Amino acid sequence: VLSIRELPRVETLEAEAKRLTSLDPAAVYAFLSVLVTSAEIERRMETHFARYGLSQARFMVLILLKRQPEQTATPAHLADLAAVTRATVTGLVDGLAQEGLVERAHRTDDRRSVSVRLTKKGLALLERILPDHYARLGAVMSRLTRTEKKQLATLLGKVREGLGEAIDGAG
């Protein structure tokens, strides 16, 4: 969670665009809007989850497990779903297992692999958090009409399409 707190003013961007022809003020403004908004949301979420003794990352593991068949997954699968390394998952599962929210079990078919399963206690914690979580989330989005919510998701989809060809691209 690291981003600027305030967006630069449009005039500032337009002034800089006169020197740097590669700068498109509307693009920069929209781009930074995504980062600033997400950072602010994440700050709030971190505070919210802390009330339940969870970090955002630990919550993520629980909710991902909840959606898996038998509420079970391997660390490798979790790492893939959450876009973190396996080493990170190992640490997160360590903490969650210590609190009894998940269980580890060695798989019989391939004993290199491990099963991570959501426990009853873990599920109960999720059931306690989720209604509140979704209600808050809904409140955040409440200034947008149903149509605007769909527009927003569509526009962000186009941004992700653009990611394929830039920032990390050749050069």
Helix (H) or strand (E) holding 104: strand 102-106
121 in contact with a copy of itself (CB under 8 A): no
In the complex, least distance from residue 152 CB atom to DNA, rounded to whole angstroms: 25
Q: In residues, how long is the chain?
A: 171
Name the residue among 140, 134, 121 with its Cα closest to residue 53: 121
Query: Considering beta carbons, is residue 17 or 39 the nearer one to DNA?
Result: 39
106 in contact with a copy of itself (CB under 8 A): no
Choosing among DNA, a copy of itself, none, which partner's interface includes residue 85 (Cβ < 5 to 8 Å by kind)? DNA
In the complex, least distance from residue 78 CB atom to DNA, rounded to whole angstroms: 8
Q: Is the alpha carbon torsion for 106, 108, 110, 111 positive or negative?
A: positive
123 in contact with a copy of itself (CB under 8 A): no
Please give the angle made by the CA atoms of 133, 36 and 162, to the nearest 5 degrees: 100
CA dihedral 39, 35, 67, 157 (to 10 degrees): 160
Choosing among DNA, a copy of itself, none, which partner's interface includes residue 90 (Cβ < 5 to 8 Å by kind)? DNA
Choosing among DNA, a copy of itself, none, which partner's interface includes residue 75 (Cβ < 5 to 8 Å by kind)? DNA
83 DSSP β-pair partners: none
Choosing among DNA, a copy of itself, none, which partner's interface includes residue 95 (Cβ < 5 to 8 Å by kind)? DNA
In the complex, least distance from residue 106 CB atom to a copy of itself, rounded to whole angstroms: 26
